A and B are shown apart, each in its own frame.
Chain A
Amino acid sequence: MAGTAVRGRLTWQVATAGSLTDETVAVRTIELGVADWAGHSAGQHLDVRLTADDGYVAERSYSLASAPGEPVAITVERLEDGEVSPYLTEDLRPGDEIEIRGPIGGYFVWPWQDDATSPLLLVAGGSGVVPFRSILRHRAELGAKTPARLLYSAKSLPDVIYRAELDAMHDGVEVIYTLTRQQPPGWTGHSGRVNEALLREVAWASGQQPIAYVCGPTAFVESVASGLVGLGYPPSRVKTERFGGVGGP
Chain B
Amino acid sequence: MSSPISRGFHRRHRDTTADTDRVPPGQYVTTDFPVLSAGPTPHTPLDSWSFSIRRAGDTLKSWSWPELQAQSVEDVTVDIHCVTRWSKLDTRWHGVPIDTLLSQVDHDANFVLAFCDGGYTTNLPIADVTGHQAWVAFGFDGQPLQPEHGGPARLLVPHLYFWKSAKWVRGLELLAADEPGFWERYGYNNYGDPWREQRYAGD
Q: Is A in direct contact with B (CB under 8 Å) within the complex?
A: yes
Known contacts A52-B10, A52-B11, A53-B10; 16 additional CB pairs below 8 A are: A49-B3, A51-B9, A52-B5, A52-B6, A52-B9, A54-B10, A56-B11, A56-B28, A58-B11, A81-B12, A83-B11, A83-B12, A87-B9, A91-B7, A91-B9, A97-B6
- Give me 16 A-to-B residue pairs in the complex whose CB atoms sit less than 8 angstroms apart, sorted by A's number: A51-B4, A51-B9, A52-B5, A52-B9, A54-B10, A54-B11, A56-B28, A58-B9, A82-B12, A83-B12, A87-B6, A91-B8, A93-B7, A96-B6, A97-B6, A99-B3
What 10 A-B pairs are tightest by C-beta distance, nearest first?
A50-B6, A83-B12, A51-B3, A50-B9, A56-B11, A52-B10, A52-B9, A91-B8, A97-B4, A87-B9
Contact B4 A14 (CB under 8 A): yes
What 1/0 mask marks residues of chain A from 73 to 95 whose CB sits below 8 Å from any chain B CB?
A: 00000000111000100010100
Residues of A in contact with B, size category: 20 to 34
Check A173 for interface membership: any CB of B closer than 8 A. Answer: no
What 1/0 mask marks residues of chain B from 1 to 36 whose CB sits below 8 Å from any chain A CB?
A: 001111111111000000000000000100000000
Contact A99 B11 (CB under 8 A): no
How far, in angstroms, from A157 to B45 measured CA to CA in the complex? 41
**Interfacial residues, chain A to chain B (CB-CB below 8 A):** 12, 14, 49-54, 56-58, 81-83, 87, 91, 93, 96-99
Q: How many residues of B contact A (CB 8 A)?
A: 11
How far, in angstroms, from A200 to B11 measured CA to CA in the complex? 45
How far, in angstroms, from A49 to B10 measured CA to CA in the complex? 12
Could you tell me the dominant secondary structure of chain B's interface residues?
Answer: loop
Q: Nearest B residue to A98 by beta-carbon distance?
A: B6
How far, in angstroms, from A98 to B10 measured CA to CA in the complex? 13
How far, in angstroms, from A49 to B3 measured CA to CA in the complex? 9
Kindly list chain B residues whose C-beta atoms are within 8 Å of the C-beta of A83.
11-12
How far, in angstroms, from A56 to B84 measured CA to CA in the complex? 11
Closest CB in chain B relative to A37 CB, distance in Å: 17
Kindly list chain A residues whose C-beta atoms are within 8 Å of the C-beta of B5.
51-53
Kindly list chain A residues whose C-beta atoms are within 8 Å of the C-beta of B9.
50-52, 58, 87, 91
Closest CB in chain B relative to A83 CB, distance in Å: 4
How far, in angstroms, from A214 to B74 measured CA to CA in the complex? 49
How far, in angstroms, from A57 to B5 measured CA to CA in the complex? 9
How far, in angstroms, from A97 to B6 measured CA to CA in the complex? 6
Kindly list chain B residues whose C-beta atoms are within 8 Å of the C-beta of A52.
5-6, 9-11
Kindly list chain B residues whose C-beta atoms are within 8 Å of the C-beta of A91.
7-9
Closest CB in chain B relative to A15 CB, distance in Å: 10
Closest CB in chain B relative to A238 CB, distance in Å: 21
Closest CB in chain B relative to A190 CB, distance in Å: 32
